[in-house]
């Protein structure tokens, strides 16, 4: 009786799988998907139909054989099922130390093993109103934020809040406060004469360190009224937009354009984003185009808060998702390659170098109109020192800045190359952002260059 029940259940389930995925061929789950992804989805559906059909046939055949053999096979089936679900349970609920946590333990450095969601929850539970940091990457493949009178592509964050950086690279999640426009600065800097504005990505924003250890913070310690307008995930188009939306109204003496080696990947992503036509291309081609974001922070705050609250709710539903994944044997199916590929293949398009040059040229044009000066700051990456392989675009970007008569501050040449141990300037000697010491050395080189060029810090004691 038990044997029959087991195999009948298996037969019914297998037939159900076949029917389900035949239905999915007409009505894909979770779509619509791009054509390149849809091909993988259909391939997965056909695989599941085939697997379901094979098992339905096998279960049906077993029901026709000798009862004694059926009993033995049913025990083997149940044992295999227990083993598979045991493996799935282990994979779903195990806590695996990250490479950084292991390195921290070996170095005797405390390491916060909480997730960013847990850190935000703990801050709120302690009475500190905190939100996740909605970086630029959230808007890269969308039109931005859907306001009542149209789309907004924001370049700052939520103003005047406590937040954290999304990565724990140094053993802790840096807890930071945002300014009046959602950037990582002390409040009140916009009201005074601005010496320096920084535009760039997560290195500019200050990932991995506290807010008093970023490049802009060190520059402020040297007397410069420096405003950090960097955001994690920014690419060249967003950095141009920041110059137009925030640096132009501030009319800073100097704009530091901080280049990092993934900027061309970000540029390619920006050019395939829905925001390219709606926003980015206009910043490049239309002199007077602006969203007037510096005057719309209240509207931006409301939209971003609604967005991050929705994302936090999704995170809170994570436990339910884990149970569903367990029942669906998601980890096991992934190991045997029985899941669809839902991510886009890397773009096989040429690196848009001419667009990069136009963006730098446009930025310099905007900055020069108010009498400001633009500097190109080259930030090197970890691989340059761990493998000895140079950034493939280094020669091009340095030549481009030179052709455009933009002064260059080469951080590879000035900081990392002469350092006796460049990997020491990366947390735990692993790939990522710089340590506090690394950022300090970068800022000191920048500050010395500006002073040598006659840029006098507003708060200089000399």
Residue 37: predicted pLDDT: 61
Q: Are 185 and 161 in contact (CB under 8 A)?
A: no
The model's pTM is 0.80
> How open is the CA angle 209-418-266, to the nearest 5 degrees?
50
Which H helix or E strand runs over 151? Answer: strand 150-152
Residue 80: predicted pLDDT: 81
Ramachandran sector of residue 419 (left: φ over 0; alpha: ψ -120 to 50; beta: rest): beta
pLDDT averaged over every residue in the chain: 87
pLDDT tens per residue, range 64-86: 877 777 777 777 877 887 887 78
Residue 63: predicted pLDDT: 78
pLDDT tens per residue, range 217-271: 999 999 999 999 999 989 999 999 999 999 999 999 999 999 999 999 999 888 8
Which of 173, 172, 98, 170 lies closest to 133, judged by CA?
173
92 pLDDT band (50/70/90 cuts)?
A: low
Q: Are 383 and 431 in contact (CB under 8 A)?
A: yes
Q: Of 49-58, 71-80, 171-180, 243-252, which gets the smallest average pLDDT?
A: 71-80
Residue of higher predicted confidence among 212 and 277: 212
Q: Are 152 and 142 in contact (CB under 8 A)?
A: no
DSSP character at residue 380? P
C-alpha–C-alpha distance, residues 181 and 300, integer Å: 9
Q: Of 203-217, 273-287, 421-435, which gets the smallest average pLDDT?
A: 273-287
C-alpha–C-alpha distance, residues 253 and 364, integer Å: 13
Radius of gyration, alpha carbons of the chain: 27
Residue of higher predicted confidence among 352 and 437: 437
DSSP character at residue 188? T
pLDDT tens per residue, range 399-430: 999 999 999 999 999 999 999 999 999 999 99
Q: Are 264 and 246 in contact (CB under 8 A)?
A: no
Q: Of 96-100, 380-384, 449-453, which gets the smallest average pLDDT?
A: 96-100
Instruction: Find the farthest-apart pair of alpha carbons in the chain and give their distance in angstroms, rounded.
Output: 99
C-alpha–C-alpha distance, residues 165 and 374, integer Å: 28
Residue corresponding to tokens 């990366």 = 426
Q: What share of the chain has pLDDT > 90, as a percent?
A: 56
Task: Provide mean pLDDT across the span 18-41.
Answer: 71
Q: Are 356 and 260 in contact (CB under 8 A)?
A: no
User: What six digits make up the tokens of 408?
Assistant: 């260059």
388 pLDDT band (50/70/90 cuts)?
A: very high
Q: Kindly write down the DSSP assignment for every residue of 271-322, as one continuous string.
A: HTSTHIIIIIHHHHH-TT----GGG-HHHHHHHHHHHHHHHHHHHHTHHHHH
Pairing of strands 254-260, 373-379: parallel
Residue 318: predicted pLDDT: 61
Q: Of 315-324, 355-364, 438-447, which gets the smallest average pLDDT?
A: 315-324
Residue of higher predicted confidence among 10 and 90: 10
Q: Is cis: bond before 119, omega within 30 of 0?
A: no
Which of 197, 196, 216 lies closest to 206, judged by CA?
216
Edge-to-edge order in the sheet of strand 254-260 = 226-228, 196-199, 254-260, 373-379, 408-410
C-alpha–C-alpha distance, residues 462 and 448, integer Å: 14
Which of 402, 405, 403, 380 lies closest to 392, judged by CA?
380
142 pLDDT band (50/70/90 cuts)?
A: low
Q: Is 410 helix (H, G, I), strand (E, B) or coil?
A: strand
Residue of higher predicted confidence among 367 and 37: 367
141 pLDDT band (50/70/90 cuts)?
A: low
C-alpha–C-alpha distance, residues 79 and 85, integer Å: 10
433 vs 145, 306, 382, 428, CA distance in Å? Answer: 28, 30, 8, 11
C-alpha–C-alpha distance, residues 441 and 377, integer Å: 13
Residue corresponding to tokens 């139909």 = 49
Residue of higher predicted confidence among 163 and 58: 163
Residue 462: predicted pLDDT: 54
Flag whether pLDDT at 345 surpasses 50: no
Instruction: Provide the sign of the torsion angle of the four alpha carbons 263, 268, 272, 278, taken in this order.
Output: positive
Residue 461: predicted pLDDT: 56
Residue 402: predicted pLDDT: 98
User: What six digits make up the tokens of 354?
Assistant: 């001419």
């Amino acid at each position: 009786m038990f044997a029959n029940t087991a195999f009948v259940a298996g037969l019914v389930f297998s037939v159900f799988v076949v029917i389900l995925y035949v239905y999915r061929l007409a009505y894909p789950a979770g779509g619509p998907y791009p054509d390149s992804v849809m091909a993988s989805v259909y391939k997965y559906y056909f695989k599941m139909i085939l697997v379901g059909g094979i098992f339905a046939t096998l279960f049906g055949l077993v029901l026709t054989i000798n009862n004694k053999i059926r009993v033995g096979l049913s025990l083997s089936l149940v044992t295999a099922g227990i083993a598979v679900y045991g493996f799935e349970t282990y994979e779903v609920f195990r806590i695996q130390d990250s490479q950084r946590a292991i390195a921290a333990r070996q170095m005797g450095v405390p390491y916060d093993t909480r997730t960013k969601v847990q850190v935000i929850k703990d801050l709120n539970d302690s009475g500190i109103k905190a939100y996740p940091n909605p970086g630029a990457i959230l808007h890269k493949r969308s039109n931005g934020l859907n306001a009542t009178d149209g789309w907004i592509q924001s370049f700052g964050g939520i103003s005047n809040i406590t937040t954290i950086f999304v990565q724990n690279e140094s053993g802790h999640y840096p807890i930071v406060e945002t300014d009046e426009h959602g950037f990582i600065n002390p409040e009140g800097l916009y009201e005074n004469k601005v010496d320096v504005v920084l535009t760039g990505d997560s290195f500019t924003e200050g990932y991995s360190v506290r807010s008093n250890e970023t490049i802009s913070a060190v520059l402020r310690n040297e007397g410069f009224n420096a405003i950090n307008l960097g955001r994690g995930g920014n690419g060249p188009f967003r950095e141009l937009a920041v110059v137009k939306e925030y640096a132009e109204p501030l009319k800073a003496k100097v704009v530091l354009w901080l280049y990092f080696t993934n900027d061309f990947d970000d540029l390619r992503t920006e050019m395939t984003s829905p925001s390219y036509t709606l926003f980015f291309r206009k910043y490049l081609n239309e002199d007077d185009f602006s969203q007037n974001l510096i005057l719309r922070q209240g509207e931006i705050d409301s939209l971003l808060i609604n967005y991050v609250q929705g994302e936090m709710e999704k995170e809170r539903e994570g436990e339910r998702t884990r149970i569903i994944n367990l029942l669906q044997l998601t980890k096991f199916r992934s190991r045997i390659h029985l899941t669809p590929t839902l991510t886009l293949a890397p773009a096989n398009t040429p690196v848009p170098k001419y667009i990069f040059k136009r963006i730098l040229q446009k930025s310099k044009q905007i900055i020069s109109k108010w009498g400001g000066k633009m500097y190109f700051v080259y930030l090197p990456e970890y691989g340059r020192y761990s493998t000895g392989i140079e950034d493939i675009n280094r020669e091009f970007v340095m030549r481009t800045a030179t052709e455009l008569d933009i002064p260059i501050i080469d951080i590879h040449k000035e900081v990392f190359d002469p350092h006796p141990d460049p990997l020491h300037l990366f947390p735990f000697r692993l790939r990522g952002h710089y340590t506090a010491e690394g950022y300090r050395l970068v800022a000191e080189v920048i500050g010395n260059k500006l002073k040598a060029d006659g840029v006098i810090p507003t708060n200089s004691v000399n």
